[in-house]
Amino acid sequence: MQSKDTTSSICSAGSNQETVRYKEVGAQHLDQNSPKKGRYRPRGHSRQLAMVHRLIDQVASYDTSVLILGESGTGKELVARNIHELSSRANKPFVPVNCGAIPAELIESELFGHEKGAFTGAITSRKGRFEMAEGGTLFLDEIGDMDLSMQVKLLRVLQERTYERVGGNESHRCNVRIIAATHRNLEKRIAAGAFREDLYYRLSVFPIETPPLRDRIDDLPELIEHLADRAASKGHPRVRFSRPALASLSHYPWPGNVRELSNLVERLAITHPRCQIDLPALPPKYCAGDFDAEVPCPDTSAHGAIVTSPEFVDLPADGLDLKDYLRTIEQRLIKQALGETDGVVARAARLLHMRRTTLVEKMRKYDVRAHA
The predicted structure's pLDDT at residue 25: 36
Which run of H or of E encompasses 34? none
* Cβ neighbours for 315, distance < 8 A, ≥ 6 positions apart: none
SS3 state of residue 207? strand
Q: What amino acid is encoded at 246 in this protein?
A: L
Assess whether pLDDT exceeds 70 at residue 93.
Answer: yes
| CA 357/CA 92 separation, integer angstroms | 47
| CA 80/CA 100 separation, integer angstroms | 17
pLDDT classification of 302: cutoffs 50, 70, 90: very low
| CA 229/CA 286 separation, integer angstroms | 21
Structural domains for the chain:
9-209 (3.40.50.300), 212-314 (1.10.8.60), 321-372 (1.10.10)
The predicted structure's pLDDT at residue 296: 38
Of the CA atoms within 13 Å of residue 31, those in its CB half-sphere come to 21
Assess whether pLDDT exceeds 50 at residue 294.
Answer: no
| CA 277/CA 258 separation, integer angstroms | 19
Nearest to 122 by CA among 159, 167, 92, 63: 167
Degrees to nearest 5, angle at CA 185 with 181 and 188: 140
| CA 138/CA 206 separation, integer angstroms | 16
Average pLDDT over all residues of the chain: 80
pLDDT classification of 3: cutoffs 50, 70, 90: very low
Assess whether pLDDT exceeds 50 at residue 162.
Answer: yes
- Quick check: pTM over 0.85? no
Rounded average pLDDT over 180-200:
96
- CA 213 to chain CA mean position, Å: 9
Rounded average pLDDT over 25-40:
51
Model pLDDT for residues 46-85, shown as the tens digit of each residue: 999 999 999 999 999 999 999 999 999 999 999 999 999 9
The predicted structure's pLDDT at residue 98: 94
Assess whether pLDDT exceeds 90 at residue 314.
Answer: no
Answer whether 246's CB lies under 8 Å from 282's CB.
no
pLDDT classification of 14: cutoffs 50, 70, 90: very low
DSSP 74: S
Instruction: Give the residue with greater pLDDT, 184 vs 350.
Output: 184
Rounded average pLDDT over 137-143:
97
Assess whether pLDDT exceeds 70 at residue 300.
Answer: no
- Secondary structure of 232-275 in HEC code, one letter for each residue: HHCCCCCCEECHHHHHHHCCCCCCCHHHHHHHHHHHHHHHCCCC
